[in-house]
Chain A
Amino acid sequence: MYLTNGIVIGIIYAISALGVTLIVGIMKVVNFAHGELYVFAGYFSYYMSVSLGLSPLVAMPLSVFLVFLIGLLMEKALIRPTYGDDMYSLIVTFILSIVLQNLALLIFGPYPNKPPNLIFGATNLFGLFYYGNQRLLSFFISLAILLFIFYLIKMTWFGKSIRAVSQDREMASRIGIDHYRINMLSFGLGAALAAAAGVILSPIFPVTPSGSAAISLTAFVVVVLGGMGSLKGCLVGGLILGIIENLGAAYISTMYRGIFGFILLILVLVFRPWGLYGQKT
């Protein structure tokens, strides 16, 4: 059961981490406001379905789209001027994370909220134990998103231009790819992935403005573990972290759930700093 939980959560971690790795891989920018975007999406989906009475099926994609727009705006207004200056982009996204966190506190208040479940009840898995339907559904939605992103990056023209820009920005622009547009779209996509993880997980784990740092960190651990910029690494890294956290919380201590990720991060840095699937240099 803990293992199943680990796999389900791990897939959702993978989506969230995918958002970070996409931006790092293409723009060499770490989005420290990742967790805040997740939290915003969770609250959007809560207010749309509870206050506006929208069906969660409408509220969820709508929230993701809203955060996608926020991501585009962030890139255009704040990240674009920092191109080529890695240090400033780190500082700007960190300040942005503090601003968004306080903004969330201001708008949504400090109380945890959870959007309504899409589905109720539980299913007997493999005749072993009952498992919540909401979690199962989340698992399948996440899997679908994951496959979609892999398809997008590996098979479509958009994906090809993304990979071209990430390999050689100058060369890509010389063959007619507008790298400003690509950067903006990928930042938006990264934000949307954070939002997707947010709307999927928030019915299971309620969102709070103060919880955003932990969410960012989880995504960062997965990205470093998998290797920066690697899509496959995100999937494997997410699963590993999900399983370790759930087994660790079950058998060692729940208070220190956050610590397992950090220990993993240290181990990766000591033994394989480029991550599981990253490039060595």
Chain B
Amino acid sequence: MKSSTIWFSVAGLSVAIILPFFLSQYWLHVMIISLFYVMMASSWNLLAGYTGQVSFAHAAFAGVGAYTSGMLSVFLGVSPWLGILIGIISAALLGLGLGVLCIRMGGIYLSLTTLGFSEIIRIIITNEDNWTRGTMGLQTPGLFVEYSKTGYYFIFLAVAVAIGVVIYKLIHSEWGLTMRAVLNDEIAASASGINTINVRLLAFTFTSAIAGLAGGLYGHYLMLVTPDIPSLGQMFLVLAMAVIGGMGSFAGPIVGSFVLEILSEYIREWGEYHVLIFGLIALAMARFAPEGLMGLWINKRKGHGHTN
């Protein structure tokens, strides 16, 4: 780990820990939602940015986690903590199944199948309203007996940091090297003895599980699980955060999540326009700055280095 990275992490973490003592309840809420998106966008980036698999089912897996845990706690009285764990397992198993089906056929098939899967999950949830309360949303219990925003904040922070550490370790491990080899040149990678399909399958299952975890926590925080969680609109937000922040870099999706979530609080009054605006920004970034905000920042720093 470079010393600058360590400094950034330590400084960021210290700010994050003292933050709740200065923020209003409203901004604390914004921070919690941002942390949810950090989990989603970072794990999606691990999949798309590092193994080149553009999955459109990430939000759907979050929905699987949220609804599994929500329905277990509502109908069977299972503790939300256990429910979230079962939600993670369900998302991982579905991810494994979907991955086995389409990964060997290559990237385009994965994108098409995950898009289909995402729509099907939404249709089932909307139609089976006996179990899911359809578009009305399912009211779920919270994680604590006594509601505390600060408590939720620290849980989200702890989980997001833990996920971040795991992803960072993965990217900088032998496994990360393998994944990048697969991304850069699949044929060369498989020729040098890497089982490309297993690498991809593992990444897909692992990131689906993270999405399930993020969705489970999110559902018990909002205490209302709606079909918006597994929607393609939500998927788009996660994707836009990764693209705008910078795909294929560790910090990119984290930066993107905070920037977009905070930005959306400011342009909330424009209502439906805000998705359109995010879309246009994301399109412009993908077209002119494919490495996102992180790429721009690094280039600028490099530029300064040359002039000095």
Contacts and interface: CB of A to CB of B under 8 A. Distances in A.
A78 B279 CA distance: 13
A26 B240 CA distance: 28
A230 to B, nearest CB: 14
A28 B104 CA distance: 17
Contact of B54 (A28, A87, A102, A266): A87
B79 interface: no
Interface stretch (A51-59, A192-200, A256-264): A256-264
Given A95-B243, A265-B113, A269-B102, A102 B272 contact: yes
A269 B116 CA distance: 13
Contact of A30 (B111, B116, B273, B275): B111
Interface residues of A, number: 42
B111 A90 contact: yes
A44 interface: no
Interface in A86-121: 86-88, 90-92, 94-96, 98-99, 102-103, 105-106
Nearest to A265: B116
B111 A269 contact: no
B286 A224 contact: no
Contacts of A214: 119
Given A90-B107, A95-B279, A224-B112, A217 B233 contact: no
A183 B93 CA distance: 40
Nearest to B290: A88
Contact of B276 (A30, A103, A216, A270): A103
A206 interface: no
Interface in A18-74: 24, 28, 30, 32
A249 interface: no
B119 A102 contact: no
B287 interface: yes
User: Which among A24, A91, A262, A269 has the greatest number of chain B C-beta atoms within 10 A?
Assistant: A91
A88 B233 CA distance: 19
Interface centre among B102, B112, B115, B283, by most chain A C-beta atoms within 10 angstroms, is B112
Which DSSP category, helix, strand, loop or mixed, fits chain A's interface? helix
B127 A255 contact: yes
Contacts of A81: 287
Given A86-B107, A94-B239, A106-B276, A30 B112 contact: yes
B260 to A, nearest CB: 13
Nearest to B111: A90
A165 interface: no
Interface in B80-109: 101-102, 104-105, 107-109
Nearest to B233: A98
Contact of B105 (A78, A261, A269): A269
Contact of A78 (B52, B123, B127, B287): B287
Contacts of A259: 120, 123-124
A213 interface: yes
Contacts of B116: 217, 220-221, 261-262, 265
B168 interface: no
B177 interface: no
Nearest to A77: B287
A77 B244 CA distance: 19
A88 B286 contact: yes
Contact of B275 (A28, A98, A266, A269): A98
A102 B108 contact: no
B54 A270 contact: no
A258 B120 contact: yes
B120 A262 contact: yes
B283 A24 contact: no
B272 to A, nearest CB: 7
A217 B123 contact: no
Contacts of A146: none
A273 interface: yes
A265 B101 CA distance: 10
B104 to A, nearest CB: 8
Given A95-B243, A259-B120, A262-B116, A86 B108 contact: yes
B286 A95 contact: yes
Contacts of A256: 123, 127
Interface of A: 24, 28, 30, 32, 77-78, 81, 86-88, 90-92, 94-96, 98-99, 102-103, 105-106, 213-214, 216-217, 220-221, 224, 228, 255-256, 258-259, 261-262, 265-266, 269-270, 273-274
24 contacts: A78-B283, A81-B287, A87-B54, A90-B107, A92-B283, A94-B111, A98-B232, A98-B275, A99-B276, A102-B276, A106-B272, A106-B276, A217-B115, A255-B123, A255-B127, A256-B123, A258-B123, A259-B124, A261-B116, A265-B112, A265-B116, A269-B102, A273-B104, A273-B105
List 9 A-B pairs, minimum CB-CB distance, nearest first: A99-B279, A102-B276, A90-B54, A98-B236, A269-B101, A220-B112, A262-B120, A98-B279, A95-B282
Given A95-B240, A102-B272, A269-B101, 16 more contacts: A87-B48, A88-B286, A90-B108, A94-B239, A95-B283, A96-B283, A99-B279, A99-B283, A102-B273, A106-B273, A220-B115, A228-B108, A258-B120, A262-B119, A266-B101, A273-B105
